[in-house]
A and B are shown apart, each in its own frame.
Chain A
Amino acid sequence: MRGGEMDMNSKHRQDKNCVSRRRALQMIGAASLAGMCSLGGLGRAFAAQKKPNIIFILTDDHRYDAMSCMGHPFIKTPNLDRIANEGVLFSNSFVTTSLCSPSRASFLTGNYAHTHGITTNHTPWDNSNVTFLEILKKAGYDTAFIGKWHMPGDNLPKLRGLDRFVTITKEGGQGVYFDCPLVIDGVDTPRPGKYITEDLTDFAIDFVGQKRDNPFCLYLSHKAVHFGFRPPKHLDNLYDGVDLKLPPESDTWNTYTNNNIFVGAPLPMNWLYRNYCETVVSVDEQVGRLLAKLEQMGVLDDTIIIYAGDNGHFWGEHGMYDKRWAYEESIRVPLMIRYPKMTAQPGARPKQMVLNIDVAPTILELAGVTSPVAMQGQSAAPLMADENASGRRSWLYEHFPVFPIPIPGMTAVRTDRYKYIEYQDDLKPAELFDLQKDPKEMHNIINSAQGQAVLPQLRRELQKIKQDTGYRFFTRAEQRRTGKGE
């Protein structure tokens, strides 16, 4: 897959270079300017002229490689590919917690789960958190949150800084694919005959198309492609008969065994995966509708378009299904940004590690807005101006137990080369992987000579990041024992 990625990447770059010399010169100029006056300054300079519109599209469980631009063997996603090819695809993008609610809150706040406090799908949203939408509203944006909120609490929160809030409360906020009722600005509204991805996109298009003087920021958060995996009728059976090319350790029964059934999929693996792939295509179609609307309005290039997934997904790798664990399939997500005005090399695929907590600071920097609150993420905007700009050296992955799932809490440190994972109360032996030699993380080298040589440094690094970010472990039992936590 990686080789395919690189081949496609270089081919695309060659195409781009051949097509537009003028474009290349413009970008060199922009990159030089960014280098001279820092990208933050550049962002503010652009913003002083006219603030860009912002569309952030977040999908659920969309794994990093489930797109044709990432070399998937059969899924066709021309619209997502377009965002990648005309923008920047961060090819090493990760979530700091591979679970819906914590990850979503991290996108919104730019902070780790242990900081924003939404550590599980059961933890209510803390309204003292500041979202990038709130900051943008104060900076003069029209704002809308459309789609999956999925953070519990007795009621939906009164989010600050929203002009429009269309969301889902059915099935604990997960929603359903067909006929999913919506809460439209606080009003429960049945939606008979609607397919959720299309319905939410209709709201998005409506919001984007409104006449306004201010720039807009749209947060479009799909239910797709979360479990349920139901494509719209016209895509049903699209991949029937296709060789799914599931990993060799995968089989039909993975979803029922090794306690995978607790993560909610009492159906055969291949059936689920086929439907998942078809549902990804439906997301791509709806992204295409939104892009077409922006083009029709003539604002496509004035709009920052960000596409991301909230976590990855196992399809039998390690004998697993679902996500949560710290392995690559679970923590890697698609993340790409299309904003020609700030992109030095369209189609670039920076290799630096970029996280979900980086999205909020990136959006703010691109919009030329200074955050009034500290965020733990760091802007990825410099990587758009210079693919070779320096990136982070390591980062913290954290997972907190989510009842009733038999997966222990864990923390991990991931560097470009290694990943070291520690489990709650040593319920599972610690793991260390050499990601260069063993990208599928099949061989725990913790007891090998190589492992022993790098282990102390990785342990120190993990402790340091924990300390620097104020890490706390959250379980009910832990809180009772130590008085720490929420």
Chain B
Amino acid sequence: MPKQSFLRRIILPVAVVVGIMVVSMNGYDFSRSVTENPTLHMALANTTAMLMFLSIWLGAMIANTIAFFQGATFGERLMVCLVTPVVWSAKVLWYFVGIYSWPEFFFLLLHNIILGPSVVALLCMGISELWCRAIAKRRTGGRVLAPSSLAVLFIGAAGLFVMLYNGGHAYYFVYMDLYTKLFM
């Protein structure tokens, strides 16, 4: 794909997904104050929450697709895809600051709720890569199955499997066992 400006390659895809996330997140928070009208409350909560989670979990598909057709390199696309989960995780982690020691805080980065969105983003990016490359092949030729695309797809799928195996309990108990050994 012809390489477009930085604004169109990087800022545009990031702005789309992060924008949806920020707007929906605030909309959801606002919905909790609409308690006088239950129908409006639920409509607002459902719409904004769905958009929020779509942007967090599936945002990489949108961001990668935009970035791909704006000529972003693989590294740029990877970065673009990880912005939403990183921003989300940073927001989540903010509530931990001051409660635990810094080593414990950094250990949190391995928690499946923190690591999960990034892993899903890699999986989504891998899926997006396949269809973007399939479309690009029809237009300009090239390969659909590029090693880098397959790698993110594999890492995302494997990571997700490990984190969700047995309803996430297996990973969580290993994680907590490790925590106990390191910190207790």
Contacts and interface: CB of A to CB of B under 8 A. Distances in A.
A425 interface: yes
A171 B172 CA distance: 10
B41 A401 contact: no
B35 interface: yes
A406 B100 CA distance: 9
A403 B183 contact: yes
A152 B181 CA distance: 13
A192 interface: no
Contact of A248 (B41, B179, B183, B184): B41
Contacts of A425: 98
A417 interface: no
Interface string A232-264: 000000000000000011011100110101100
Contacts of A257: 28, 49
B101 A408 contact: no
Contact of B100 (A249, A262, A477): A477
B162 interface: no
Contacts of A251: 31-32, 41-42, 45-46, 49
B45 A408 contact: no
A262 B99 CA distance: 14
Nearest to A253: B49
B101 A480 contact: yes
A252 B104 contact: no
Contacts of B92: 259, 406
A409 interface: yes
Given A251-B46, A401-B99, A427-B99, A476 B104 contact: yes
Interface string B88-129: 000010011011110010001001010000000000000000
Contact of A424 (B45, B46, B98, B111): B98
Nearest to B179: A403
A251 B31 CA distance: 9
A404 interface: yes
- Range of interface residues on chain B? 20 to 34
A404 B41 contact: no
B140 interface: no
Given A122-B184, A406-B95, A406-B96, A249 B32 contact: yes
Contact of A401 (B28, B31, B100): B100
Nearest to A176: B169
B113 A424 contact: no
B99 A256 contact: no
B113 A262 contact: yes
B99 A407 contact: yes
A256 B117 CA distance: 13
A470 to B, nearest CB: 23
A319 interface: yes
Nearest to A171: B169
Nearest to A478: B101
Interface residues of A, number: 30
A256 B25 CA distance: 12
Contacts of A476: 100-101, 104, 183-184
B98 A408 contact: yes
B174 to A, nearest CB: 12
A129 interface: no
B35 A172 contact: no
A261 B100 contact: no
Given A403-B183, A406-B99, A427-B99, A249 B104 contact: no
B53 interface: yes
A252 B111 contact: no
Contacts of A477: 100-101, 104
Contact of A409 (B28, B35, B96, B99): B99
Most buried by B among A266, A406, A475, A480: A406
A275 B92 CA distance: 28
Contacts of B38: 248
Interface string B19-37: 0000000001001100110
Contacts of B168: 266
Contacts of A408: 98-99
B33 to A, nearest CB: 8
The 3 closest A-B pairs by CB, nearest first: A248-B35, A253-B49, A406-B95
Given A253-B49, A259-B95, 16 more contacts: A122-B180, A248-B36, A251-B32, A251-B41, A256-B49, A256-B53, A266-B168, A319-B32, A403-B100, A403-B183, A404-B111, A406-B96, A424-B98, A425-B98, A427-B98, A480-B101
14 contacts: A122-B180, A122-B184, A171-B169, A249-B35, A251-B31, A252-B42, A401-B100, A404-B111, A406-B95, A409-B99, A427-B98, A475-B99, A476-B101, A477-B100
